[in-house]
Structure 1
Amino acid sequence: HDGFCQWFTDTTDFSIVNSSVKKDIVDFLQKGCDNNKIGLGVYLSPWDMNQRDRGLWNTAEYNRYFLAQLNELLTRYGRVDEVWFDGACGDYEIWKAVPSYRPDTWYDFIESAQPHAVFRMYDPYFFATEEKWEEIKAGKAKLEWRGKAVRWVGNEEGKSRTDEWSVQPVFDRAIAENATFPDLGQEKYYQNAVGAVWYPLEVNTTILNQWFWNAGTSSTKRLSELVEIFYNSIGNNGVLLLNVSPDSNGLIPEDQLQRLMEFKAFMERTFNTNLAIRATIHATSETLNHKADSILDNNKMTYWTTDGGWSINNSNASIIFDLGQARTFNNVLVQEYIREGQRVAEWSFDAWIGDSWQELVHHKTIGYKNIKRFQICTTDRVRLNILRSWDNPMICNFGLYLSNISEEVAEVNDIVQKGPEPDDVDPGELLSGLFYTYYSGGIQSAALIESIVSVKPVKAGIIEAFDVQPTQESIGYSISYKGYIRVSSDGIYTFRLESANGSVLYLGEKLCVDNDEPHEIKAIERKIELKSGYYPIKVLYTSFRHKGMLKVSWSCPGFVMKEIEAYNLWHKG
């Protein structure tokens, strides 16, 4: 959101043209994608914080400026398959429209310049004006939909809903905060819907613990975390946008590359061999041209479906796979023939154990691809049951797989960090309270507050303790706290950092608690071994997407967890 253009732009001097690099990164990316047969996607944030100080932000001219940048990206680099408009804008309340934005003009231009491209829409998206919406609800006007949008999952943590629908009922005039609903797409929303739209899922998250590489604060996610993200996205009727972050030299660090190769190895080891591929198949119903054998022919254009009519609440069908011999697996993969829509509304998967069927999976949605895990099972017979479907089910692929990942040491809060040495400071020079600096604007990462130009210091002073009261705003600001903390005795101290959005805590130069990046209220605890004395302490906090909330607490064998008291916080006079 800082407005820095990583391509050779004619719209602003705040770009890579005037950096020491002087290389068109988008051009390099496009050539790399072409050489590896990968589709090119571009990200352009509508919120350009650099234009705040240049007088263009939030004016009628700003939309022309933004369209000019979009024009460059979509006409200079060949085919573009996806355009991502971030919904963030810390200058306005989240989910509310920004007056200077004209998103319909952006979507029109994408349609004209790259008609095959999909795009992540800016929040909020309005289906119609208030007047036309009333006409649509009354049946006097037709619901219109651009039809090429991908649906943001509603968080940046790599999590998805238990059941993800590509078909979404339209029950509100705007797509905004409802994108975060935990039960979005469920049948109850059809009660007040004016129609439905095709709006498939995209999960976006990071390979690091934060969006941007930072030598002091970033760490790479464990393989087990990436595996969970895989099952929450590709394995749950979605696609995955996994962010990798270059370092200050413009290179992808080795730890990220290594984790990507481990991730690749996991997918290859797990999904290269379909243990159901030679099974004999028996279906309770099939059509002459779409027999059950089509499910295992490795052709995504063929599928099995049932014969005759279908009732969502009264019809069902089953397919039994005789594996020929005992097979051991812990994953089942099912795909619908998505060209005819997402139909299945409830399904289950059974294994023949002993002398009866044992249910291993029971869910609502399948969609383009669904992969479900369960305890390792050994059997020679399995059954797929379609229990509810909006129309005759169409299944184009089925698979059984055995997955395993290398054993890892999980991150646990009981690990004790060795803290820094106490500062050699004369207590007589210290005064009670902390220095604070208040900045206008929230950002993705609290760790960047002091080094980024897009947040501006507004006021500073002394504050009694860690508190968000220096500002009257409820959202869209940042604060730094600096001073000393007094540790009265040697011991192992647990520091607890609780916040909505990003926060980090340093003792001396050591990052001790990292609760960074946008999130709802979440607490992180870390144990640190400290000697008695005075330690420089710094806490950075940003309110970006959620209402501001910060609480800094500690405990040790001598006292239970509590907010750090004012009498233990000091600053140099």
Structure 2
Amino acid sequence: MIIESPTAALTTAPRLTEAARPSPAQLAWQREELAMFVHLGINTVTDREWGDGTEDPSIFDPADLNARQWARTAREAGFGTLILTAKHHDGFCLWPTATTTHSVAASPWRGGSGDVVREAAEACASEGIRFGIYCSPWDRNAPSYGTGREYDDLLIAQLTELLTDYGDIAEVWFDGAVGESARGRQRYDWDRIIGTVRELQPGAVIFSDAGPDVRWVGNEDGVAGATCWSGIDPARVPTPGRSDPWTLDSLRHGDPEGAAWRPAETDVSIRPGWFWHESETPLDGGALLDLYLTSVGRNSKLLLNVPPNRDGLLDDADVAALHAFAELREEVFGTDLLAGAAVESDGATLVLTLPEPVTADLVTLAEDIEGGQHIAAFRVQVDDGEPGDAPWRPLTSGTTIGHLRALRIPPTRIRRLRVSIDLAYGPARLTHVGLHHHARGEHRRRADNHD
């Protein structure tokens, strides 16, 4: 239920730095909760995950490619943005770029006149969702890769095409992959790259391991840290592509004293691979709901990859899983068992009293993050209303809340719920407390509980 009178923390710890807070674009990005990744390219044809850049463009010919199907499926499943791999590490460009012949213009698809990026951008606009671009800095086909400034110029030219010819871009996605070449190891000019995006698409959020707007969660399992701050210390994650334990810990958990607001994005694929492979099958709707709880439900955003097949279509099994995922979210979150509860507050504690007892197995909490993220420790207690029972028993507890915190509990009879804020770094403003019934089945998933 929505809390009309947010609580204010009784116990506070002073911050060493002023609280980081989100920009309007970052706030909108997080409230969207779900984005769809679309990995399509030369690897779809070759049945590989990483191409080497020597592939012949003539093999790319997804005869039934239908970007409208991708965007429609994303919208129907509740995803707000679709992000397309315009160029992966193999360097094959899904648009007719002027920077290389290694592109769709050299393929038989659409008679050499096709443009996957344009079709995807137009499909997203038609379906009312936002469009994002992935452009790999690593390019295993470009002869200038590893030369420094010469390759930087090529990458900037490609970004300029992508960011000026396809309308508004919601998110620009850079991974940190860096490869060796005969010409050496490329050192990307990130200041220039980020400056180009800022100039051409000022409303876009920029993802990389290190931000500057959105950070990686530190794994590809679909699991954010049980403690997940949106703030981060930029000095601990200075450049994309670092994967030492120090960096991964910072990415997973964030930092309550972090000077930069860089919320975590949890990227994971619906299939074992990122590109489509005939031998693989997708996760089911229940497993996708589990991923939602360990990503969005831990103050992150879920970026779920759904790869088109060699015909250029999302497989029926993937589409069915996405629809089941949407139905399950509605089934679980569409009914708040706390609706109609009476609310009392003493400043650091909320007590919610229901007219009649309910049975729940999922608790959700939300914090007002417009002014920053402050809650560092909370407890939830329960009174089942049975005569003779202790009035308050521990139910669950945690550290951070942020945009959303979802906590599974054993099926529990609840008449009254008490939420206590034990530690906060500033005014702790709860905006939502919910109880739900999540009938847990045996779902097939690959993620472990990375706390």
TM-score, with length taken from structure 2: 0.72
Residue by residue over 1:511-544, the C-alpha shift from the partner in whole angstroms, topping out at 9 and shown as x without a partner, is xxxx9xxx9xxxxxxxxxxxxxxxxxxxxxxxxx
Asked if 1 retains the 8 angstrom alpha-carbon contact of 2:145 and 2:186, the reply is: no
Indicate conservation of the 8 Å contact 1:117/1:148, yes or no: no
1:170 is displaced (CA, Å) by 4.5
Instruction: Name 1:424's counterpart in structure 2.
Output: none
Corresponding residue for residue 392 of structure 2 = 357
What pairs up with 1:421-436 in 2 under 5 angstroms? none
The residue type paired with residue 377 of structure 2 is E
Distance 1:170 1:65 in 2: 28
Q: 2:425 aligns with which of 361, 386, 390?
A: 390
Aligned to 1:404: 439
Q: Going by fraction, where is helix more abundant, 1 or 2?
A: 2
Inter-partner Cα distance in structure 2 for 1:273 and 1:66? 48
Aligned twin of 2:45 = none
Deviation, structure 1 residue 24? 1.4
Partner-residue secondary structure (3-state), 2:122: helix
AA aligned opposite 2:308? P
Alignment of 1:185 onto 2:276: no
**1:345 corresponds to which of 376, 398, 404:** 376
1:328 maps onto 2:359 in alignment: yes
The equivalent residue for 2:404 is 369
Return 5+ residue gaps in structure 2 as ranges.
1-88
Native 8 Å contact 1:62 1:100 kept in 2:
no
What is the aligned partner in structure 2 of residue 268 from structure 1?
Answer: 330
Is 2:282 the partner of 1:220? yes
Task: Report the AA paired with residue 185 of structure 1.
Answer: G
Q: Following the alignment from structure 1 to structure 2, what is the Cα–Cα distance between the partners of residues 331 and 199?
A: 27
Which one has a larger percent strand, Structure 1 or Structure 2?
1
Residues 60-118 of structure 1, C-alpha deviations (whole Å, 9 max, x = no match): 211010011111111111111100001112328xxxx9544111111111111111111
- Alignment deviations for residues 403-429 of structure 1 (CA, whole Å, 9 cap, x no partner): 225x45759xxxxxxxxxxxxxxxxxx
Aligned to 2:109, what secondary structure does the other structure show? coil
After superposition, what is the alpha-carbon deviation per residue over 1:270-314, rounded to whole angstroms, capped at 9, x for unaligned? 1111111211100013xxxxxxxxxxxxxxxxxxxxxxxxxxxxx
Q: Judge conservation of contact 2:287–2:444 (CA < 8 Å) in 1.
A: no
Larger Rg: 1
Taking a change above 3 Å as real, the CA distance of residues 344 and 409 of structure 1, as seen in their structure-2 partners, is closer
Q: Provide the residue aligned with 2:270 in structure 1.
A: 207
Which of 99, 103, 107 matches 1:11? 99
CA-based RMSD of the aligned residues comes to 2.4
Whether the 8 Å contact between 2:231 and 2:254 is mirrored in structure 1 is: yes
Q: Which residue of 2 aligns with 1:111?
A: 198
Q: Distance in 1 between matches of 2:137 and 2:165?
A: 20
Aligned residue in 1 for 2:260 = 197
TM-score by length of 1: 0.57
Measure how far apart 1:365 and its partner are: 0.1
Q: 1:347-374, CA deviations, whole angstroms, 9 ceiling, x for partnerless residues?
A: 1111113332122211110011111111
Size of the alignment, in residue pairs? 345
Does residue 31 (structure 1) correspond to residue 122 (structure 2)? The answer is yes
Pair 350,47 (structure 1): closer, same or farther in 2 beyond 3 Å: same
Q: How far did residue 162 of structure 1 move?
A: 1.3
Partners of 1:252 and 1:361 in 2: CA distance: 40
> What is the distance in 1 between the residues matched to 2:367 and 2:443?
37
Q: Write the mapping of 1:133-144 to structure 2, written as runs, cut at 5 A.
A: none
Percent sequence identity is 32
Aligned to 1:79: 168
Counterpart code for 1:174? P
1:306-317 equivalent positions in 2, closer than 5 A = 317=348
Q: Which residue of 2 aligns with 1:88?
A: 177
Contact 1:153/1:179 (CA < 8 Å) preserved in 2? no
Note if contact 1:152-1:179 (Cα within 8 Å) is conserved in structure 2: no
Which structure has more relative contact order (CA 8 Å, sep 6+)? It is: 2
Which digits, 9 at most, give the CA deviation of each residue in 1:144-185, with x for residues without a partner? xxx851010111111221110001234547253344117643
Return the offset for 1:56: 4.6
Q: Which AA in structure 1 matches 2:192? A: T
CA contact (8 A) 1:334 1:397 kept: yes
The answer (yes or no) to whether the contact 1:150–1:200 under 8 Å persists in 2 is yes
Q: Distance in 2 between matches of 1:334 and 1:410?
A: 26
Residues 280 and 242 of structure 1, relative CA distance in 2, 3 Å threshold = same
- What SS is found at the alignment partner of 1:384? strand
**Deviation of 1:222 (Å):** 3.4
How far did residue 59 of structure 1 move? 3.8
Determine the structure 2 residue equivalent to 1:552.
none
Residue 112 of structure 1: SS of its match in structure 2? helix
Q: Which runs of 5+ in 1 are unaligned?
A: 126-146, 286-316, 412-514, 520-573
SS of residue paired to 1:381: strand
Q: How many Å separate the matches in 2 of 1:352 and 1:90?
A: 58
Choose which of 63, 68, 74 in structure 1 pairs with 2:152: 63
